[in-house]
A = this chain, B = another copy of it.
Amino acid sequence: MISIIKVPNIPIIKSVKQFYFSLENELNNLIMDGDILVCAHTPWSRVNGPIYKIEEMVPSNEAIELAKELDKDPKKIEIILQLSNEVVKIGRNVIITENKAGVICANAGVDESNAGLGYALGVPEDPDKLAREIRQFIKEKLRRQVAVIISDTVGRALRRGAVNIAIGVAGIAAMKSEIGKKDLFGYEMRVSEIAIADEIAAAAELLQGQTNEASPFILVRGYPINFEGEENARLLNRPKNERLFN
């Protein structure tokens, strides 16, 4: 059995210190060796950036042009461009970019919800590093050996509705390979690699939520985590030469 457990009593986090203080306080009697802690990136980004006050932005010429094309606020487009490696696609009232974490999604993942009124926040530039730091903090302060996943909620190219995905991973392999294993009839699996970290993030979202009922910290307990393997969410981003859709 796998349990998905909401970490209760998390206040609105107002500083990096309070972020770690909340983790230490609320996880101490709750988290166990082998748990996977899924953290929404939002509270971290709100206190550590990237976060921008929208009205203070000075749009570039590119932002002004794009804003006209999309009928959007050029200051908001400027934020999106600053947090992107590459504009991948423009169309139908939306701008798709590869953000600094390497994830291709609408608006670089820039979000006004849960940012504070008048602010917009993006995803951390290196969520894998953030996951490692949180994992290390839990190891040192709470003496528990756990895995950490940093999550974000994104739309999808070919399916409607957003889902939670893993943008940072530590202490667990991001993918599980089934290649070489046997099926029910002895047939040897040839291609299957499962994006376990994304599935765990999706599971966590069921309790994490997006609104004022949300809790940013969710524990996933009972999944046999693999402490070996590639602890790297960036490898879940399909590289450019593998992208079938452009």
Chain A interface residues toward B at CB < 8 A: 1-6, 12, 89, 91-92, 94, 96, 104, 112-117, 153, 156-165, 174-175, 178, 181-187, 189, 192-196, 198-200, 202-203, 205-207, 210-212, 214, 222-223, 235-238, 242-246
Contact = CB atoms under 8 A, between A and B. Distances in A.
Given A162-B194, A163-B202, 19 more contacts: A2-B207, A4-B4, A4-B203, A94-B244, A113-B192, A114-B183, A117-B185, A156-B157, A157-B243, A157-B244, A158-B238, A158-B245, A160-B193, A161-B193, A161-B195, A161-B198, A163-B198, A183-B212, A245-B245
A178 B210 contact: yes
Copies of this chain, whole number: 2
Contacts of A96: 244
A243 B205 contact: no
B5 A4 contact: no
A160 B195 contact: yes
Contact of A4 (B2, B104, B178, B245): B2
A1 B115 CA distance: 27
Contacts of A245: 89, 157-158, 245-246
B3 A193 contact: no
A236 B161 contact: yes
Contacts of A1: 3-6, 207
A68 B152 CA distance: 41
Contacts of A6: 1
A92 B236 CA distance: 19
